[in-house]
Amino acid sequence: MKIGITCYPTYGGSGIVATELGRELAARGHDVHFITYANPIRLDQGLPRIHYHEVEVSSYPLFQYPPYCLALASRMAEVAACYDLDLLHVHYAIPHSVAALLAKQMTTARRLPFITTLHGTDITLVGSDRSYFPITKFSIEQSDGVTAISHHLREETVEVFGVANEIRVIPNFVNCELYRPNRERPREKRLLHLSNFRPVKRPLDCVRILAEVVKWAPATLWMAGDGPERGPAETLARKLGVADRVEFLGKRDHVEELIPQCRVLLMPSEMESFGLAALEAMACGVPPVATRTGGVPELIAHGADGFLESVGDIAAQAARVVELLTDDALYDRMSAAARRTAETRFDTPLIIPQYEQYYREIVA
């Protein structure tokens, strides 16, 4: 099958999932065409059956803002015609599904269906903004197929927008051959936070958690990623006296090499529709300490393969980290359970065929 994929090519969960999906589909024999304004993160050059088509947006004095959506639609239609694409798969409703709808209408020689995958903030933040509500609802309803990454997100989409579409839940996935634990438990009692440092991810809570943890156990913290909250997090680390224990790593592409060097993943988010960082950590045998929000409880079983606490409850989250750092038997048991969850529920051989089956249904 020939598939066009559009996503935000930046450091966010939707772009990562779209990129990994394209890689896995190509490995299974499909031709994958990425249509974006920049090469997606984690997409190495020269991979077989993967093609990249840049969307160029011209700047004219007439336009205060470049008309990206229109340029994207034109590029989608062009690529679809040149390479006989069977369907378009767009990640994130706005503006990608609108562009896909325009490309579909521009393609008159044959049918060009498109699937929209909802990832979370396109519904919870952008879609619920009054100015974007009508176009988000319309683009979902006009999609030939709609998927969501968790049952929570599907229910929220129906509640917020009242759409009548069938929304297929296909959870996020992880390649358990690539994401693997170290053979031995990491000696360094290092915590890890991995995000795009937006306020909704609450990276400052990670610094506060560390400041509590070090009262009971020696620990350090790696902060991987970048974004608007990085500066405030650095300032807070100095204020709380833990700056020498925190290392800001910036953006990292190959996090599968980073995660196994850590003992615990911190995911204190205000909202997560799924929690991809937690899944990647679990595949590496790194138990997550996360918040009980959104679709996270669909991934993490509290007390079995990770811990879930209330948003903003620094003391409770820190106490769970201390448990994992000081009780080796608990850590080993939870580490093995986390890996088992990733292997038995979210490994790529289990999830990618669900997308392939959905593609066949939509194309037919």
Tell me the per-residue pLDDT of 278-318, one tens digit each, with 9 for 90 and over.
999 999 999 999 999 999 999 999 999 999 999 999 999 99
Under the banding of pLDDT at 50, 70 and 90, the label for residue 125 is low
As annotated, the residues of the chain forming the CATH 3.40.50.2000 domain(s) are 2-173+347-363, 190-345
pLDDT band at 253 (very low <50, low <70, confident <90, very high): confident
* Cα–Cα dist 98/234, whole Å: 39
Does residue 213 register a pLDDT over 70?
A: yes
| Predicted confidence band of residue 94 (pLDDT cuts 50, 70, 90) | confident
pLDDT category of residue 176 using cuts at 50, 70 and 90 = very high
For residues 267 and 193, the answer to whether their CB atoms sit within 8 Å is: yes
CATH 3.40.109.10 fits 190-345, yes or no: no
The predicted structure's pLDDT at residue 160: 86
Phi/psi for 305 (5° steps) reads -120, 10
Stretch 89-105: mean pLDDT, rounded?
93
Instruction: Write down the pLDDT at residue 62.
Output: 67
Band of pLDDT at residue 18, cut at 50, 70 and 90: very high
Show Cβ contacts of residue 338 under 8 Å, excluding neighbours closer than 6 positions.
281, 282, 283, 285, 286, 287, 288, 305, 306
Q: Determine how many CB atoms are found less than 10 A away from the CB of residue 293.
A: 20
pLDDT of residue 185: 80
345 pLDDT more than 80: yes
Q: Does pLDDT of 117 surpass 60? A: yes
Q: What is the pLDDT of residue 126?
A: 62
Of 131 and 156, more confident: 156
| H or E stretch covering 6 | strand 2-6
Which has more confidence, 347 or 63? 347
Write down the pTM of the prediction: 0.93
pLDDT tops 90 at residue 154: yes
Mean pLDDT of the residues in the chain: 93
What local confidence, expressed as pLDDT, does residue 127 receive?
Answer: 54
The CATH architecture that domain 2-173+347-363 belongs to is 3-Layer(aba) Sandwich (3.40)
Banded model confidence at residue 33, pLDDT cuts 50, 70, 90: very high
pLDDT confidence of 47, banded at 50, 70, 90? Answer: confident
What pLDDT sits at residue 128?
Answer: 57
Quick count: other Cβ atoms within 10 Å of Cβ 363?
15
Is the pLDDT confidence value at 129 over 80? no
HSE (CB half, 13 Å, CA atoms) of 283?
27
Using pLDDT thresholds of 50, 70 and 90, give the confidence band for residue 11: low
What are the residues facing 3 on neighbouring strands? 32, 87
Predicted local confidence at residue 280, as pLDDT: 97
Average pLDDT over residues 49-72: 83
Residue 133 is predicted with a pLDDT of 86
pLDDT-based confidence at residue 14 (cuts at 50, 70, 90) = confident
Residues 41-54, mean pLDDT to the nearest whole number? 86
Kindly tell me if the per-residue pLDDT of 146 is higher than 60: yes
pLDDT at residue 223 greater than cutoff 70: yes
Percent of the chain past pLDDT 70, that is, above it, reads 97
- How many Å apart are CA 178 and CA 23, to the nearest integer? 12
